[in-house]
Amino acid sequence: MVITQEMAKVEFVIPSVLNKGSGEKKISLESSNLQDAFNKVSDQMGEDFKLKVFDLNGKPRALINIYINGKNMRFNTDGMAMSLNDGDSIYILPAVAGGAELTSNDMQRYSRQIMLEEIGFIGMEKLRSARVCVVGVGGIGNPVVTQLTAMGISKLRIVDRDVIEISNLHRQHLYAEDDIGKVKVEAAAQRLKKMNTAVEIEAVPISITKYTAESIVEGFDVVIDALDSIDARYALNDACIKHNIPFIYAGALGMLGSVCTILPNKSACLRCMFPALVEDDMPTCSTEGVHPSILYLVGGIQVSEAVKIITGQKPALVNNLLYIDLNELSFDKVQMFRHEECHSCGSKKRVDTVKVVQQQLLIEELCGRDMGKRTYTVTPSELSSPIDLMKIIENAELLGYQVKTRGSLGVTVESNISSKLSVSFLTSGAATIVGAKDEEDALYIYRNFIKDIYRK
């Protein structure tokens, strides 16, 4: 009795390099095993394909990698006689096209995104070498950094000046209750490193200002804006324009969100869209509230746009502001235009000469925290050498404070004298002061903490 193998409905994916440069091609067919599938595809593709893929004995050339559902078939003992199942995806790639750079573990881990025509093997190779800077690891930044890490980029720099509050936990899901008081970038980096050990995570606890923005973004392929301060956004926009780095903006408040992709000197920039916003006039989630779902929507779209840029595709939101309304479940694109009069990217752009005089301190009042206490952030204008946290703690104890939380990138202390005061100090020199009476009081508290403790 002759035993015949059952036919399986499979998809055979041929990369552009084996399709005469005409783009990736997908062929649906029925085959009993891998050899049968190759024979049928070869008949459709012609002699040129056969010569590139097979040796004189009719076997796949040594440089040809064959993947079944993301797994290299060379690990299967049946070889070309390997049986196929309904729904199997077969992908072939010559090593010269980049396949040799992906490990067997990569092929399994990222198989579901490699199967996508929009990414494929070549796109995955580009992702594995991409460097992305995400500024802000709060509500929008949480889903952005999680997705980028899971997708396997090469390096992720995360930047934030803040510490974790209990009010963050309903929407910032990288953090847990025992993280309250910790530096956001430090806690986020710890989670992300556990998520994907192959991705380099760099945590930078610093405020974004016109003094710091350039050094933060320089050398990265894409910058993603997950901030909540318009002044910081403008500084980031200007730095990306100067260094010609694609910049992806997103904002969210209440049930509303917006996203736009900025290609420096080619498309409308942030100031073209919003030329004269003032920090004090801007509503915030602290006063208006925010739905967690809108954060994941805009964050996911930012990641999608970043992946398009990295893999060489055209992003969908260049010169288009996507406006999302969760109440109506509506998605509207508003066309934007670059303006020659723009002070950031137009012909009349301002060239500010940033001069730092005697370590200027920048102070900003934030939304009230801890039942409405006045809250200030103080930031040195220069990126100097790291602050010695042990000296901060020593000074705090002398001033009548006790340590609440402590990490390698920052410390939070509370006053033993006044229940109204708490101070979070970062190694960058930035500090968040909760309970100060006014700006003058906040600067006085800061200077008492920082006096004579910079490392030389």
Of 356, 307, 382, the residue nearest 122 (C-alpha): 307
A 10 A CB-CB count for 92 gives 23
Q: Most distant CA pair in the chain: distance in Å?
A: 94
Neighbours of 22 (CB within 10 A): 8
**Burial classification of residue 275, based on how many CB atoms lie within 10 Å of its CB (0-12 exposed, 13-18 middle, 19 or more buried):** middle
The active-site residue out of 240, 285, 342, 345 is: 285
122, 203, 245: which is closest to 410 by C-alpha?
203
DSSP secondary structure string for all residues of 82-143: -B--TT-EEEEEEGGGTGGGS-HHHHHHTHHHHTSTTTHHHHHHHHHT-EEEEE--STTHHH
Please tell me the distance from the alpha carbon of residue 270 to that of residue 248, in angstroms, as a whole number. Answer: 10
**Two tokens, residue 435:** 């309970």
- Mention every residue, 6+ apart, whose C-beta is less than 8 A from residue 28: 9, 10, 11, 12
Q: Return the residue matching tokens 């992806």.
A: 248
Residues contacting 421, CB < 8 A, separation 6+:
401, 414, 415, 433, 434, 435, 436, 445
For residue 162, which of 426, 442, 443, 357 has the smallest C-alpha distance? 426
Establish whether 260 is a catalytic residue. Answer: no
Question: What's the rounded Cα separation, in Å, for the pair 246 and 382?
Answer: 25
Annotated catalytic sites, by residue?
Answer: 285
